Amino acid sequence: MTERNVPHAELSTGPTDWKSGAMQARIARRYRRERIFQSLGLGAVVISVLFLVFLLGNIVKNGAYGFVQTSVSIDVTFSADLLGDPTSLSPEAFTEKVRKTNMLRLIQTSMQELFPEVKGRRDTRTLLRIVSTGARAQLRNMILADPALIGTTKRVELLTSDDIDQVIKGNIDISLPEANRKVKDNELSWLQTLQNDDRISLNFHSQFLTGGDSREPELAGVWGAIVGSAFTLMVTLLTAFPIGLCAAIYLEEFAPKNRFTDIIEININNLAAVPSIVFGLLGLAVFLSVMGMPRSAPIVGGLTLALLTLPTVIIASRASIAAVPPSIRDAARGLGASPMQVVFHHVIPLAMPGIMTGTIIGMARALGESAPLLMIGMVAFIVDIPGSINDAATVLPVQIYLWADSPERAFVEKTSAAIMVLLFFLIAMNGIAIWLRQKFEQKW
Amino acid sequence: MTNFTIFIVIAVMAMISFALVRQKSVAIVGGATQQLHSLPRYHGYYAAVRVFAPCLFLFLLWIIGGETVIENLVVAGLPDSVKNVSGDQISLILNRIQLAVQHGEASTTDANILAAADKYSSLYNKGLWATFSLTLAVGLLGYYLSNSRTHADYRARNSFEKTISVALAASSFLAVVVTLGIVASLIFESLRFFQQVPIQDFLFGLHWSPQTALRADQVASVGAFGSIPLFAGTFLISTLAMLVAGPIGLFAAIYLTQYANRTVRAVAKPVLEILAGVPTVVYGFFAALTVAPMLRDAGGAIGVDVASESALAAGLVMGVMIIPFVSSLSDDAITAVPSSLKDGSFALGATKAETITQVLLPAALPGVVGAFLLAISRAIGETMIVVMAAGMRPNLTANPLEAVTTVTVQIVALLTGDQEFDSPKTLSAFALGLALFVITLLLNVAALRMVRKYREAYD
């Protein structure tokens, strides 16, 4: 086969001598090619698998640390002089006083007890930088929740700043010369002392899952983005599913076979392959500037993603409606059902598992989509958890994009951790889709 | 009175008329529902539709157009000294009015603005009440009509089903509307852009720097909108991606369809599907934080200077992203080749590899080419990977080790952050979007044609 240009003379010399050395060599060469070809194929598959393992392994390796955070336990004296006395003050006055007090002074007192040798403004300030800026709010909330703390001394676990956290996690190379690293020698020696006292611990960090975004890596959380994603997907589902289902029913069951239907069909197939960013441009031009909807809001994001997933939903629903055998329709027609009743009472219930599967897969795609949302302003830095579909919000993939752009080293692991959260939701959704398909799919 | 209340009232009206008309239809025949042409619930459904549909129409009209009308009325009522300014400033004034509506006197001390704000809120209230009374009247009229038409022979089911089929057709028509919307908005904004920047400068210019001066006296560049460097960057990265995805995807498809046993397929296919399901922002993060530094270190080790945001990193990772795309479409194309061709080749003594390269692939070629075209269109439109891993600086080069920028990166860069809507800088993003849309559309149409034609050949 490979040697098509066999010399003419050779062909005419009677039966081929397969045992001859030349033929044996040729067969060996052909089999060698066969083996090379097959291993190329295997190699392609192996490369894809290895890449996936590398990608996921890398993200899990980085991201695992995103769920834990270093804290330092120090003995805080809640002095009544500084904070006011809850027994003599009215509750409102006490709250007011606590709110106005700079909690840094509490931390400073405690830290200076631990490190009496640290003097001077500059060193003190560096010393206080061990503790996260979020520690103040943490202390304040503690006091407001339990005024009985006043006058006592209690060992409190406070978050450390992201730099200290990175040292503990081994992400800052402390063997570098001092000038080349963010954490200086004196900070490291204090940290060593704290570690020797067993005051440093690495704990599960629930704020990452329950908090909103922050400029400080140790305070940043994904909950705001999760809620934003949930609102956005809700809008997407509520628009894309009914419209997509109706369109699929029409095209599969009622549409006459004519040019116009052809155009709609070609159009849907092409729409499925339009780059997602173009849908973002459409959202920007139509929803924001023509209709004047609010920027950054999940309703706009949801509608944009609905347009994006509409073709997916239509194509999946059509396939699953077409899979219902005609005998079902004929039987229902024979018993006197109207065409509409045939579809809504018999075909759709039978096609539903497939439709749901297609819709969930479309929703999963929408959940991972970020480019069109950048166009409609869902990239803003938003600390508050959105409360409705009209509030400014961001979504998980965009949050990942924003954190990936942040310069702090600590955001690398936060980004990876956020990717793990996103992948968890995607795997869950696809798992449900596969489960639905296997449980309810009918073979006709 | 809020929009939400109006909507609730409409919904409740529809439900009540459903219940009442349904009851009436039963009462007409004295409970003997078999004498009715349509089941009682169809009488109810149709009544509900008659109430709900026109009310919803009015409501949507108010939601979409109401505020604009009120804003125009308020602006028209402003004193001439405030009103006679340029279009930009009118929108600024409107913003201040909106603020004043929300925060009262805390936001401004300008008496004109405050008066306008008062006018705005009173007009808005009037509008709400007008919508409310109108929908109520229309709803009651709808109910009255269906109620008076209800009789035993009334074909309520047929009428209701007709309404439903109109709704179904309208839904499928919406897909066309979306396409038209995309085309119209892109063309409209692009035309405005081409009024300010000549189209030949955009298409053939070699220099891209969209920064324009905000004020006339500012010392800044006038802006250059030559899109060639962007398309060159897009082309470079897509080529790199296809160099990775083309062979790997095709060989994976060949191996999985021709060589692999059941177990290998059971592992490899889901892996490819997972690769396809990973969000692109994850690939972007991976390209920027893992692959790019790796390439830079590797380049440093052999003495080659690799930019930290190289086209190579973005292209490689994008290639991996589209492997599953190429492989699943090629898989379909290869499996669709009739096995008689394969059997014939085996019978002539060809090895498997020879059968594949000389019989299967030529037969599947149109499908495979279609798969490649779709993959290229995917690579051209891909955004997040290049935004995160390729550079921002327009660079007309064919060297994959340098940083380049792409069409999608520039669209994102032009449209994120604060922007004025009329500057050529913003509008140029729509021109780029239009070009992107046209290119990918052509590729898709060609690919779908090819795949379809080839399917017909073997059916």
* Domain endpoint, select from A173, A205, A237: A205
Q: State how many domains chain A has.
A: 2
Instruction: Chain B: give the shortest CA distance to residue A136, in Å.
Output: 32
CA–CA dist B265, B271 (Å, integer): 10
Q: Are residues A414 and A387 in the same domain?
A: yes
Q: How sure is the predictor about B83, in pLDDT bands with cuts at 50, 70 and 90? A: low
At A23 the pLDDT is 86
* pLDDT greater at residue B239 or residue B396: B239
pLDDT value at B422 more than 70:
no
CB A199 within 8 A of CB A72: yes
- Could you please report the per-residue DSSP string of A210-257? H----SSTTT--SHHHHHHHHHHHHHHHHHHHHHHHHHHHIIIII--S
Domain annotation covers residue A199: yes
Whether A277 sits inside 8 A of B381 (CB atoms) is yes
Q: State which H helix or E strand residue A404 sits in.
A: helix A396-404
Per residue in A358-396, pLDDT (tens digit) is: 899 899 999 999 999 988 888 878 888 888 787 888 899
Report DSSP letters for A365-377, one per residue: HHHH--HHHHHTT
Q: Sort out which chain A residues have CB atoms less than 8 A from B347's CB and list them.
A: none
Distance from B352 to chain A by nearest Cα, in Å? 7
Strand partners, A200: A72
Residue A133 inside a domain? The answer is yes
Per the document, the length of chain A is 444
- For residue B112, pLDDT beyond 80: no
Per-residue pLDDT band for A264 (boundaries 50, 70, 90) equals confident
Q: What is the distance between the alpha carbons of residues A269 and A261, in angstroms, rounded to a whole number?
A: 13
Q: Looking at the structure, tell me whether residues A130 and A174 fall in a common domain.
A: yes
| Residue A425: band (very low, low, confident or very high) from pLDDT cuts 50, 70, 90 | very high
A26 domain-assigned: no
Q: Are the C-beta atoms of residues A169 and A64 closer than 8 Å to each other?
A: no
Chain A contact set for B255 (CB, 8 A): 38, 41-42, 44-45
Residue A50 domain flag: no
Token pair for B374? 């779709």
Closest CA to B279 of A214, A62, A305: A305
Please name which of B85, B396, B80 lies closest in space to residue B236, comparing C-alpha atoms: B396
For B348, counting Cβ atoms within 10 Å of its Cβ (0-12 exposed, 13-18 middle, 19+ buried), the class is: exposed
Residue numbers in B near A273 (CB within 8 A): 374, 377-378, 440, 444
pTM for this prediction: 0.85
Yes or no: say if B305 and B299 are a contact pair by the CB < 8 Å rule: yes
Alpha carbon of A191 to those of A130, A188, B299: distances in Å?
8, 5, 38
For chain B, which residues make up each domain, given as ranges? 3-154, 224-458
Mean confidence (pLDDT) of chain B: 84
What is the count of residue pairs from A and B with beta carbons less than 8 Å apart?
A: 265
Of B67, B255, B351, the CB nearest to A42: B255
User: Which residue among B167, B249, B286 places its CB closest to the CB of A58?
Assistant: B286
Same domain, yes or no: A361 and A261: yes
- How is residue B384 written in tokens? 């997040």
Tokens linked to A317: 């629903």
- Which contacts qualify for A437-440: CB closer than 8 Å, 24 or more apart? A437/A353, A437/A354, A437/A357, A439/A353, A440/A352, A440/A353
Q: Residue A153 belongs to what H/E stretch?
A: strand A153-159
If we measure between CA atoms, which residue out of A319, A233, A302 comes closest to residue A268?
A319
Q: Are residues A259 and A365 in the same domain?
A: yes
| Chain B closest-CA separation from residue A433 CA (Å) | 13
Q: Are residues A227 and A193 in the same domain?
A: no
Residue A356 distance to chain B (closest CA, Å): 18
The answer to whether residues A246 and A370 belong to one domain is: yes
Q: Is A388 helix (H, G, I), strand (E, B) or coil?
A: coil
CB–CB contact A49 B411 (8 Å): no
The CATH number of the domain where A278 resides is what?
1.10.3720.10
Residue A25 lies in a domain: no
Summary mean pLDDT of chain A: 84
Model confidence at A33, pLDDT cuts 50, 70, 90, reads: very high
Cβ–Cβ below 8 Å for B254 and A52: no
Q: Which residue of A has its CA nearest to B175?
A: A268
Tell me the β-bridge partners of A159: A71
Between B222 and B370, name the one with better pLDDT. B370
pLDDT value of residue A354: 87
Return the SS3 of B326.
helix
Q: How many angstroms separate the CA of residue B401 from the nearest CA in chain A?
A: 21
Nearest to A270 among B281, B289, B444 (CB): B444
Is pLDDT above 80 for B113?
no
Q: Are both A324 and A199 inside the same structural domain?
A: no
Please report the pLDDT score of residue A42 as a whole number: 92
CB contact under 8 A, A278 and B436: yes
How close A305 gets to chain B, by Cα (Å)? 12
In this complex, which of A254, A271, A282 lies closest to B168 when CB atoms are compared? A254
Window 371-430 of B: residues touching A by CB (8 A cutoff) are 374, 377-378, 380-384, 387-388, 408, 411-412, 415-416, 421, 429-430
Do A278 and B182 count as a contact with CB atoms less than 8 A apart? yes
Total Cβ atoms within 10 A of residue B85? 12
Are residues A237 and A194 both part of a single domain?
A: no
pLDDT digits (tens, 9 = 90+) for A138-188: 888 888 787 777 777 888 888 888 888 888 887 777 777 777 777 777 778
Place of tokens 């109706």: A246
CA distance linking residue A152 with residue A85, whole number of Å: 12
Answer whether A368 sits within 8 Å of B278, measured CB to CB: yes
What's the mean pLDDT in B366-372? 89
First to last CA, chain B: 63
Question: A89 to chain B nearest CA, in Å?
Answer: 33
> Which domain range does residue A199 map to?
68-205
Q: How many C-beta atoms lie closer than 10 Å to residue A109's C-beta? A: 15
Name B440's Cβ contacts closer than 8 Å, sequence gap at least 6. A273, A274, A275, A278, B377, B380, B381
Whether A1 has a pLDDT exceeding 50, the answer reads no
Most confident by average pLDDT, A398-402, A409-413, B214-218: A398-402
Burial class (CB in 10 A: 0-12, 13-18, 19+), B456: exposed
Note whether A250 and A365 are same-domain residues: yes
Residues A297 and A352 in one domain: yes
**Which residue on chain A is closest to B383 by alpha carbon?**
A371
Residue A71: beta bridge partners? A159, A201
Task: Name residue B24's amino acid.
Answer: K
- Sequence letter at residue A20: S
- From A205, A238, A270, give the residue that closes a domain: A205
In this prediction the ipTM stands at: 0.87
**pLDDT band of B82, cuts 50, 70, 90:** low
Chain B residues 227-256 with CB within 8 Å of chain A: 247-252, 254-256
Q: Is residue A11 one of the residues assigned to a domain? A: no
Q: Which residue has the higher pLDDT, B68 or B57?
A: B57
Phi-psi region of B103 (alpha: psi -120 to 50; beta: other; left: phi over 0): alpha
3-state secondary structure of B404: coil
Instruction: List the one residue out of A297, A343, A291 whose CA is nearest residue A321.
Output: A343
The three-class DSSP label of residue A258 is coil
Q: Tell me whether residues B185 and A282 touch, CB distance under 8 A.
A: yes
- Is residue A317 domain-resident? yes
Q: How far apart are CA B83 and CA B86, in angstroms?
A: 9
- Tell whether A146 and A264 lie within a shared domain: no
CATH level 3 topology of B224-458: MetI-like fold (1.10.3720)
Q: Using the predicted structure, report yes or no on whether residue B385 has a pLDDT greater than 60.
A: yes
Residue B412: which of A242, A249, A374 has the nearest Cβ? A374
- pLDDT for B419 equals 60
Surface of B (119-138) touching A: CB under 8 A: none
Euclidean distance between CA atoms A283 and A278, whole angstroms: 9
**Which residue of A2, A16, A251, A277 to mutate against B (max B Cβ within 10 Å)?**
A277
Which of B288-321 are b and which e, b meaning 16 or more Cβ less than 10 Å from the residue's Cβ? bbbbbeebbeebeeeeeebbebbbbbbbbbbbbb
Q: Does residue A264 share a domain with residue A184?
A: no
Q: Give the model confidence (pLDDT) of A283-341 as tens digits.
A: 888 888 777 777 788 888 999 999 999 999 999 999 999 989 999 999 999 998 888 89
Q: Are residues B421 and A289, on separate chains, in Cβ contact within 8 Å?
A: yes
- The encoded tokens of residue A99 equal 């709110």
Rounded CA gap, A103 and A82, in Å? 9
Judged against a pLDDT cut of 70, whether residue A8 lies above it is answered with no
Residue found by looking up tokens 């996690």 in the block: A169
Tell me, yes or no, whether A329 lies in a domain.
Answer: yes
Chain B CB contacts of A246 under 8 Å are 167-168, 170-172
